[in-house]
Amino acid sequence: MSDETPSQVDLVGQLYDENQKLNEYVAQLEKRLKALWDKYYSDANYYEKRMCALIEAGNSMYEFINPPTPCMRTTRMDNLLQGWDDAKIGKEAKP
């Protein structure tokens, strides 16, 4: 015969059930965290590719706008070229 009383057996059963529920909850949290991480990684990848494409487009526009000699530049061209240079080094654009 066992030394355990019915109340001890009930307590062990309750603790086991609670442990199972907590394990399921942790598993759900892990799934959610993985889904969030996957989304973050996917979004970061997308924006990194997008930024590279924009940089490439900006560099192409820079070459297109930049005339062979500075005397051929207009004020607008100078502002656009300076704005692109500032953007590439992280300065805020001036309105």
Q: How confident is the model at residue 19 (pLDDT cuts 50, 70, 90)?
A: very high
For the chain, the domains span: 6-89
Q: What is the mean pLDDT of the chain?
A: 86
In this predicted model, what pLDDT tens digit does every residue of 34-74 receive, in sequence order? 999 999 999 999 999 998 888 888 888 888 888 778 788 88
Does residue 87 contact residue 58 with C-beta atoms inside 8 Å? yes
* pLDDT at position 38: 95
Averaged pLDDT, 69-80: 82
Which among 55, 94, 57 is positioned nearest to 78, based on CA atoms?
94
Instruction: Report which of residues 1 and 68 the model is more confident about.
Output: 68
